[in-house]
Structure 1
Amino acid sequence: MNLYLTRSGRLRRRDNTLRFERVNLPETEDPEVEAEALEEGKADAVQALPVESIDAVYVFGELSVNTKLINFLNCKKVPVHFFNWYGHHTGTLLPHAEQLSGDLVIRQGEAYRNPEERLMICRNLLEAVFHNILSVLQYYQRRKGGLEKSIAAVKELEQKLAEQDTPEGLMGLEGNVRKLYYQSWPVWLGKTAEHFKRVYHPPDNPLNALISFLNSLLYTACVSELYRTALYPGISYLHTPQTRRFSLALDLVEPFKPLLVDRMIFRLLDSRAIGDRDFRKHSNGFLLTDDARRRILQEWDQELRRTVHYAPLNRSVSYRQLLRLDCYKLINFLLEGREYLPYRIGY
């Protein structure tokens, strides 16, 4: 499971486990006063946390840590992901790599430099993306109807994947498909998605705020799984390698967005577990309230642990495991030349 720290406090090592001391911070803009309260303030709640069952730590509030804790988390191979006040991922503290392979890193770089190999990886990723988007549209076609034109348009664009000879051309097709996909959302979300357009910085409406937050959670989940393989997260294929983000994670999460992020949004809105009351206007954008964020994190953790039947292994696996399996598929392609087929629902 993941540990989500949404309140301010101190995280410490206590014997061979973790201890979280929650602290109510004073209302002040003085960072020194706040830091002193974090270090010396009286804890209003104390919780022991079994480190052996924690896959990663997610920090959303102000947190005080020390080197003893960091060394302990490193020994236990537990990544720590940090988010700012807006709910945006700002960085990750990764322990020393569990696996190292110079050969694999060299092959990753060679595949990026090889136009044919890079294009094949990108095309296979987007084939999985298109398949999973179509599965969502076909599901709501069976339930609601009225999506015949959207499905036909996506299938038409899918046929053009083989014609593209650059990653940029493939990304252009993906952008067109996602635009069609978002335009279909009002069929089952109603007024919530009317005239919806994806806007990132800052999210200009509650729906965009919800997508951005869940996309960040999916990205960090993939970073945690990449860490447990020998893949180098800075060499990517669909997205241009970046200096401030693990761009390979941006590649690998694309097929999972319709299945994990989008379907969870639909459930939250359809069940009214999340509504207008759960967002606050800030500057020229929207933010989730702290209470809504906590509820979403609880749902998200359950979603990652949800199992589906995985035909290649003929058994049920969790979505978190599926993320890691897609990492291994890329490794098998790079080192052994096996066909690279990212996860497609129903396969």
Structure 2
Amino acid sequence: MTILYLTEQYSSVQLDAETLVVRIPERKETNRKARKVRVPLGKVTQVIVYGNVTLTTPAIEALLARHAEICYLTRYGKFIGRISGEDHKHGQLRLVQRRAHDDPTLVLHVARVCVRAKLHNQRTLLLRSNRVRESDSLSLAADQMGNMIALLDALPTEANLPPNPSKPQADTLLGQLMGIEGAAAAAYFKGYGELFIQPWCDLFTGRHKRPPTDPVNALLSYGYTLLISQTVAAAQIVGADPYVGYLHSTQYGKPALALDIVEMFRAPIVDSVVLTLLNNRMLGLNDFEEILGSWRLKDEGRKLFLQKFEERLNVEFKHPIFKKEVTYRRCLELQIRLLSRWLLGEFKRFREFYTR
């Protein structure tokens, strides 16, 4: 898979036979000359557009004809929308996916798998990072997360319908599960903040999304946005509906299934990339800007993040279930395939993705 990231503002993309021609304009403030980049059309599986970049109609048509999705984000990484071609023809999968959405017990099973894997992988990151540090507070955070996993395992498997349909999580097992997830998140991010060197460990006071109140939160939010986009694409490859989820509520325009699957991969992909970039001093405070209390990456920092994010997605390791070498990018698709085959009755249960 080749993902074409278009980050240079005022660039244009045209089609020339079987090649995409990216025209990047001159930037006088940095003395950079105008240039052209040629990308073989057949290698592109996804295009991610940042800000003011223009794709011609022939270029868009050629990409869609080859089932390459086009995602639009603001210049600073906030998701706007996507263009994709014809829907996958796996109608049976989408039918069983929607039936399961209305079954509280099946919803609880998927939600439990996603949250348990999330907590396990977050705890693994803390424990692995603490091998050298031997920090008591990190050990405590890991122990607290272990306790949360035990509480999760103790929940019954048969779910109940919500007493109040307008509040689907109130007084239900799903609501209890989400309460456990919230408590675990507080413990995890307290420990995660201690993994950073100065000045980042002082700036990061916990997870804050809207807006990101410090550079660490800005990186996490940006990385999660990219990861969700990758997972939506993986769902479309499999033929699942990315907008029908279980842990996350299904609402208009919300890729709930992608958000469910992403939970398992936040720590091993995005959280790890953020630690690497900041603790190895690849990014500094001058790579960020603050506007009205909201922090975000500048252009050059964003390019470096994209590079490291791609490198992480392409890391190969032995899959814990299939026992073969795969990349994290491939794992996103495999996890949705596992869910799909369980929904179709081919597997007895939907299995977690665990890191070691």
TM-score of the alignment, normalized to the shorter chain, above 0.5: yes
Is the 2:316–2:327 contact (alpha carbons within 8 Å) kept by the matching residues of 1? yes
Equivalent position to 1:83, from 65, 69, 73: 73
State the 1:59 CA deviation.
0.7
Is the 2:116–2:149 contact (alpha carbons within 8 Å) kept by the matching residues of 1? yes
1:137 and 2:129 correspond: no
Q: What letter corresponds to residue 54 of structure 1 in structure 2?
A: V
State the 1:131 CA deviation.
1.2
1:185 and 2:192 correspond: yes
1:216 and 2:205 correspond: no
Alignment of 1:101-120 (within 5 A): 101-120=90-109
Partner of 1:149: 140
Is the 2:52–2:75 contact (alpha carbons within 8 Å) kept by the matching residues of 1? no
Q: What letter corresponds to residue 79 of structure 1 in structure 2?
A: E
Equivalent position to 1:236, from 245, 259, 262: 245
Partner of 1:6: 7
CA distance, structure 1, for counterparts of residue 143 and residue 311 of structure 2: 34
CA distance, structure 2, for counterparts of residue 128 and residue 321 of structure 1: 17
Equivalent position to 2:24, from 22, 33, 52: 22
CA distance, structure 1, for counterparts of residue 57 and residue 143 of structure 2: 57
- 1:181-217 Cα offsets, whole Å, 9 max, x none, are 1111243214413361211122111111111100111
Q: Percent identity?
A: 25
CA distance, structure 1, for counterparts of residue 77 and residue 91 of structure 2: 35
State the 1:16 CA deviation.
1.4
- 1:85-143 Cα offsets, whole Å, 9 max, x none, are 3321111111212x322221121111111111110111111111111111111112212
Equivalent position to 2:37, from 47, 54, 68: 47
Is the 1:150–1:181 contact (alpha carbons within 8 Å) kept by the matching residues of 2? yes
- 1:17-62 Cα offsets, whole Å, 9 max, x none, are 21111135899xxxxxxxxxxxxxxx92111101222221111131
Unaligned stretches of 5+ residues in structure 1:
28-42
Compared with structure 1, are the counterparts of its residues 279 and 106 closer, same or farther at alpha carbon in structure 2 (3 Å cutoff)? Answer: same
CA distance, structure 2, for counterparts of residue 127 and residue 281 of structure 1: 35
Q: What SS class does the counterpart of residue 209 from structure 2 fall into?
A: coil
CA distance, structure 2, for counterparts of residue 178 and residue 230 of structure 1: 31
Q: Count residues in correspondence.
A: 330
Q: What SS class does the counterpart of residue 19 from structure 1 fall into?
A: strand
CA distance, structure 2, for counterparts of residue 48 and residue 136 of structure 1: 39
Unaligned stretches of 5+ residues in structure 2:
156-171
| TM-score of the aligned structures, taking structure 1 as reference length | 0.90
State the 1:341 CA deviation.
0.9
Q: What SS class does the counterpart of residue 344 from structure 2 fall into?
A: helix
Q: What SS class does the counterpart of residue 56 from structure 1 fall into?
A: strand
CA distance, structure 1, for counterparts of residue 70 and residue 126 of structure 2: 36
| TM-score of the aligned structures, taking structure 2 as reference length | 0.88
Q: What SS class does the counterpart of residue 232 from structure 1 fall into?
A: coil
1:263 and 2:263 correspond: no
1:341 and 2:332 correspond: no
Alignment root-mean-square deviation, CA: 1.8
Is the 1:128–1:343 contact (alpha carbons within 8 Å) kept by the matching residues of 2? yes
